[in-house]
């Protein structure tokens, strides 16, 4: 059944933080799964660590992947797409850790943006590489929106702040439509340290002009269990706090996109 709902080009959302380990891939999987209940969704794993592909249970060894799309002479995009229960995936490739050497041509920065115009999806989600690199430039250039994902530590919060400068650079030079949609506070616990970090995030949000989403995603052992089962928490444990939180979070994300006139 064709779930295509939106009569517009795909809405491209990049999930990022310059610091790894904050749950960026996990959040991308949860929201891909939940969006896929209603919309036609493609997720592209741009992170050489390939965690999104691994936990989505797609073939990382014998199937064409994002590296093939970034190769200039490659044309058959359909060969790169794999299917899961609720969303499609273009798997990552560990060789992309050397992306700058693989793709020395500066025009490569636009290759994903050009390819996306050929995709018949409502939403395209990009799980980004954690470090600033050619891959992140390719993603920023192809995206409509950026969502920052952070946990309650100084390194993650600093990474969230740095995204604003990246967006300013990209909008000035390559992609004027790019917007910072919001910030997800992930792995949250009801402790004094987490509450202090939340206050710091809210203060920072005013400085960088980007509001955190009201819904915080709680920390839960079900996240690790779901990964072992190669599922999203929303599929593995529908009543868990992570699953319920992400349903509320998705409502906020859709509301912000609609207020921007894209839906």
Instruction: Determine the pLDDT at residue 74.
Output: 67
Q: Which tokens is 212 given?
A: 């955190």
Q: How far apart are CA 162 and CA 169, in angstroms?
A: 11
- Taking only the tens place, the pLDDT of each residue in 61-103 is 999 999 988 876 667 888 999 999 999 999 999 999 888 777 7
- Residue whose pair of structure tokens reads 């250039």 in the numeric block: 141
Task: At 138, list the tokens.
Answer: 């390719």
Query: Distance between CA atoms of 133 and 97, rounded to whole angstroms?
Result: 9
What pLDDT is attached to residue 131? 72
Read off the pLDDT of each residue in 236-244 and give the average, rounded to a whole number.
Answer: 97
- CB contact set of 5 (below 8 Å; sequence gap of 6+): 38, 39, 40, 122
List, in order, residues 6 or more apart from 259 with CB less than 8 Å away: none
The per-residue pLDDT of the chain, averaged, comes to: 91
- Nearest-angstrom CA–CA distance, 158 and 156: 5
Structure-block tokens of residue 202: 């809210």
Residue pair 108/138 in contact (Cβ under 8 Å)? The answer is yes
> Measured between alpha carbons, how far is residue 197 from residues 4, 12, 212 in Å?
39, 29, 12
Residue 13: its pLDDT value, please?
98
> Do 99 and 134 contact (CB within 8 A), yes or no?
yes
Q: pLDDT value at position 21?
A: 81
Please report the pLDDT score of residue 118 as a whole number. 79
The full set of domains in the chain, from first to last, is 13-259 (3.40.50.300)
CB 32 within 8 A of CB 41: yes
Least confident of 36-40, 106-110, 238-242: 106-110
pLDDT tens-digit series, residues 165-221 = 899 999 998 999 999 999 999 999 989 988 888 888 888 888 888 999 999 999 999
């Amino acid at each position: 059944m064709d779930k295509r709902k939106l009569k517009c080009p795909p809405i491209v959302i990049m999930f990022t933080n310059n610091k790894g380990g904050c749950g960026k891939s996990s959040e991308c999987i949860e929201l891909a799964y939940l969006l896929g209940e209603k919309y036609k969704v493609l997720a592209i794993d741009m992170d050489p660590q390939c965690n999104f592909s691994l936990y989505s249970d797609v073939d990382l060894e014998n199937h064409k992947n994002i590296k093939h799309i970034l190769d200039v002479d490659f044309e058959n995009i359909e060969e790169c797409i794999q299917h899961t229960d609720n969303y499609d995936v273009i798997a990552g490739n560990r060789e992309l850790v050397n992306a700058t050497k693989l793709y020395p041509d500066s025009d490569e920065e636009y290759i994903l943006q050009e390819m996306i115009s050929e995709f018949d999806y409502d939403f395209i989600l990009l799980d980004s590489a954690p470090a600033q690199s050619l891959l992140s430039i390719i993603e920023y250039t192809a995206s409509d929106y950026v969502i920052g994902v952070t946990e309650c530590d100084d390194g993650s919060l600093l990474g969230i702040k740095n995204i604003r400068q990246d967006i300013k650079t990209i909008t000035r030079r390559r992609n004027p439509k790019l917007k910072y949609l919001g910030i997800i506070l992930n792995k949250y616990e009801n402790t004094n340290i987490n509450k202090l970090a939340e206050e710091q995030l809210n203060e920072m949000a005013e400085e960088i002009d980007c509001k955190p989403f009201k819904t915080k995603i709680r920390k839960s052992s079900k996240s690790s269990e779901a990964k072992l089962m190669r599922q999203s928490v929303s599929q593995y444990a529908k009543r868990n706090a992570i699953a319920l939180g992400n349903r509320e979070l998705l409502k906020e994300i859709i509301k912000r996109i609609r207020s921007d006139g894209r839906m």
